[in-house]
Amino acid sequence: MQAFDAYELERMTVPAAASADFVFVNLFRSPVGAPMRLDAVNDLVAAAARRAGIASLHPHQMRHAFASNVQMSRIASDATFPGRCDREAVGA
């Protein structure tokens, strides 16, 4: 979480990235503020997992964990969350 918090703080200093709808956006490479490529997100998550001592972690696992946490918190089953489908985000 600390790594993500640090990323978010840095992201807020980049005007094109601060208003983006995606979770992970380019901060230093063109086009700044655009969604990160899937391989870049995978590399970022893998590096964070190694630092945390987690053998294997993938972004899609975090998506499922988020959905499970929402379900267990008893948020309405018809609740929606802002953002696009991850297939759109990676240009599939």
Segment 46-55, tens digit of pLDDT:
888 888 898 8
Task: Report yes or no on whether pTM surpasses 0.75.
Answer: no
What pLDDT, on the 0 to 100 scale, is given for residue 80?
Answer: 59
Helix spans in the chain (H)? 2-11, 15-18, 38-52, 59-72, 86-89
What pLDDT, on the 0 to 100 scale, is given for residue 31?
Answer: 92
What pLDDT, on the 0 to 100 scale, is given for residue 82?
Answer: 55
What pLDDT, on the 0 to 100 scale, is given for residue 34?
Answer: 93
Contact 18, 12 (CB under 8 A): yes
Contact 84, 76 (CB under 8 A): no
Which residues of the chain fall below pLDDT 50? Answer: 84, 86-92
